Structure 1
């Protein structure tokens, strides 16, 4: 395996977690990050594959997919540790169309292992397996809007079915999903000024911690101008505020500078708009570029694959 920015030295896989509530934009952001890094360099681990029960079984038990009891967290951690050491894993697949399980499949770790799902780091022990933990945290009104839009326009649910699902999930979201934000290296907050505001007025606040904060602070994003503000917080945290008015051409220039071989301005910051068509959000493109850039900067130091394979994480 080669470094993301060139050939040798060799690195172990970088484990990136993109976690958030249902409808928070995990698939959208993960797709953008994967395309920036290069699809051939990224293995995607679907954390929903670690469900213990099918959708029908969950309904019989009265459990939502947000409850940790639904997930085989021990197997998830074991597989993440194996992937982190460069070892393949096998697991059955979860089918979102009918909530059933598919055949067993093998995942080979590439340079980056991108783990995506509802519960990626619900415990400190699981959190320790990730090199970069990202939590997507739209404010409630926006999350409601995006989930309702996705499930009715893309997944075939009625509005009444989605509203019932949201109501049933609220308690478990507060108990189990949202607390993961406290363990994340990067928390992405999407915000709108009021309920009537269109998606084009979405602003983004990013809270960076630990090495992620240091990487952005030392590298700087000052070239993006007054529409992006950085503010130091307590304990070394860094807050980055991205205005909805950030010009698209500024972000495109930044993306081309960081990823000259893979950046395509038409492919990043794309999402499903109010009409169910493909739209573009500049703060979303900014977030995708930042996560991919951090993935490059935070690669673990060169290690001996043989030594690492023989040691526990």
Structure 2
């Protein structure tokens, strides 16, 4: 997608007064946007919300794989860029919209989870610009130094994924999303994962891990966790119910909560839509070692919204046998029989590939692909009804 000949730069001042939270240190960011020649369809925007260390990166790898092409940082840019670009997708890490760097947050006693440490006006303006076909110069938060680096040029992709702590926090940004997901990791599982990563792999003490969790919990509960109410789909990761008192996070019960009535998204179901079904698939067609596998499907209510829920407790012994479970799932938006199993086998080394986290992330990736094609088709139909001279106009504010 080539940039058209630039008209004079459009500058949007970042006026945080329009948002109810005020940064302690106001940075004078502007949103520089550049017009791009009109394309066949607008950018589709997906939001993924979760706490740090909850599997966003793995989910992004699964999702971009569905659309093809390896995701990598912008060529020739900052080697510390958080942005990942593939053939069809661009993934923006919302840490790039921190208004306070690591040292300023420490000085002022706030965490990155608190709204005062983030520039929501700039986030909204730039996501809106990309959705409408404009390139933007986006800041970079350097996770190595903890500082804000010089901005990078981001062109509007076919699919924009914004991931981080706050994609559903600002109502203005929520309105721009075509689909939204929240990864909801229970406290027990989150603690077990952090112990594994920080204690076993990085040598941190148990006391320091507990202190780190406690320091973030108040802001997480107040500003991150409530976003799940607004998500179109929620993946809940919980301790297993197959083994009493199991708290180590080795066996997981994973639930996918899907809102009814979301445009271009039909919830997945098991066997019979709208029924309540519990299924133990272990036997001749599915190898299950202790404690086995149990699936559940049924209607429910989630934050006053009607939802469908599908659940998997346990893990697969032989991933190739997943095809047996896949054959009983419906509304999975596959292009061919066995596509879910193929995707899971392709990424068998990814975390969660033997349990419900990998299964439901893969299914959501396929569902988002279907949603993207539906939006593309609608855009084409609308363009065919427009006068010819409107279709090829260069976008300007």
Fold conserved (TM > 0.5)?
yes
Q: In the alignment, which of 218, 225, 232 is matched to residue 299 of structure 2?
A: 232
Alpha-carbon distance in 1 for matches of 2:113, 2:125: 20
Superposition deviation, residue 199 in structure 1: 3.8
Aligned residue number for residue 370 of structure 2: 297
Q: 1:155 to 1:96 in 2, by over 3 A?
A: farther
Cα RMSD of the aligned pairs, angstroms, is 3.3
Superposition deviation, residue 111 in structure 1: 1.8
Spell out the pairing of 1:74-223 with structure 2 (5 A cutoff). Answer: 74-152=121-199, 159-193=206-240, 196-212=246-262, 215-217=265-267, 220=269, 222=271
Q: How many correspondences in the alignment?
A: 296
Counterpart contact for 1:228–1:243, Cα < 8 Å: yes
Higher helix share: 1
Alpha-carbon distance in 1 for matches of 2:348, 2:393: 35
Q: TM-score, normalised by structure 1?
A: 0.81
Unmatched segments (≥5 aa) in structure 1:
2-8, 272-278
Alpha-carbon distance in 1 for matches of 2:394, 2:54: 35
With 234-243 and 114-123 compared, the bigger mean Cα shift is at 234-243
Secondary structure at the aligned position of 1:122 is classed as coil
Residue 15, structure 1, aligned to residue 45, structure 2? yes
Superposition deviation, residue 200 in structure 1: 4.1
Aligned residue number for residue 355 of structure 2: 282
Q: TM-score, normalised by structure 2?
A: 0.65
Counterpart contact for 1:269–1:281, Cα < 8 Å: no
Aligned residue number for residue 244 of structure 1: 314
With 48-57 and 25-34 compared, the bigger mean Cα shift is at 25-34
Unmatched segments (≥5 aa) in structure 2:
2-38, 69-85, 273-277, 280-293, 327-333, 384-389
Superposition deviation, residue 174 in structure 1: 0.7
Of structures 1 and 2, the larger Rg is shown by: 2
Alpha-carbon distance in 1 for matches of 2:215, 2:163: 22
Counterpart contact for 1:86–1:109, Cα < 8 Å: yes
Secondary structure at the aligned position of 1:121 is classed as coil
Secondary structure at the aligned position of 1:289 is classed as helix
Counterpart contact for 2:253–2:356, Cα < 8 Å: yes
Counterpart contact for 1:268–1:285, Cα < 8 Å: no
With 33-42 and 54-63 compared, the bigger mean Cα shift is at 33-42
Alpha-carbon distance in 2 for matches of 1:307, 1:127: 29
With 28-37 and 248-257 compared, the bigger mean Cα shift is at 248-257
Which protein, 1 or 2, shows the higher relative CO under an 8 Å CA cutoff with sep ≥ 6?
Answer: 1
Superposition deviation, residue 11 in structure 1: 2.8
